[in-house]
Amino acid sequence: MLVRLLYASRAKVAMTDQDLTAILKKSREHNPIEGITGLLCYTDGIFIQMLEGGRDAINARYNTIVRDVRHHDVILLSYDEIGEREFAGWAMGQVNLSRLNPALVLKYSQTSKLDPYAMSGHALTALFHELVSSGAIVCS
């Protein structure tokens, strides 16, 4: 059984490129072994991560991530059983949100500033899907 989990959190301190690289490196080591795919976004002190994979693997990895001291205020935005992966190609894609079109954010939220704490999981998932399918975000 496959599930897709979406959460947001706040970084304890502003992340440097090295900090983010360390998290991505660890993710890309672990996730393929566990059959986990997904995306990690970091912008303005906020993480948004989408994880896809087997239910047991996702539950276990999420529990590890929640305990990580590098972030706090972890909010589970959505958790769904899925028929297929949306981000199958990415062991853990890194999304650059700096080029995000404010009009697109406004389509799904109250203001044009991306604030996952003020959005439903459904809206944020829809925004992600639109960004990925339109090529508006890059996976580096």
Residue 68 is a binding residue for ligand FAD (CB under 6 A): yes
Amino acid type, 129: H
Phi and psi angles of residue 52, each rounded to the nearest 5 degrees, phi first: -125, 145
Residue 105 is a binding residue for ligand FAD (CB under 6 A): no
Task: Count CB atoms within 10 A of the CB of residue 62.
Answer: 19
CB 124 within 8 A of CB 116: yes
Residue 62 is a binding residue for ligand FAD (CB under 6 A): no
Identify which of residues 43 and 104 has a Cβ nearer to ligand FAD in the complex.
Answer: 43
Residue 58 is a binding residue for ligand FAD (CB under 6 A): no
d(CA 116, CA 36): 22
Least spacing, CB of residue 28 vs ligand FAD, in Å? 8
d(CA 7, CA 22): 20
Identify which of residues 69 and 88 has a Cβ nearer to ligand FAD in the complex.
Answer: 69
Binding site for ligand FAD (CB under 6 A): 9, 22-23, 26-27, 30-31, 40, 47, 49, 61, 64-65, 68-71, 92
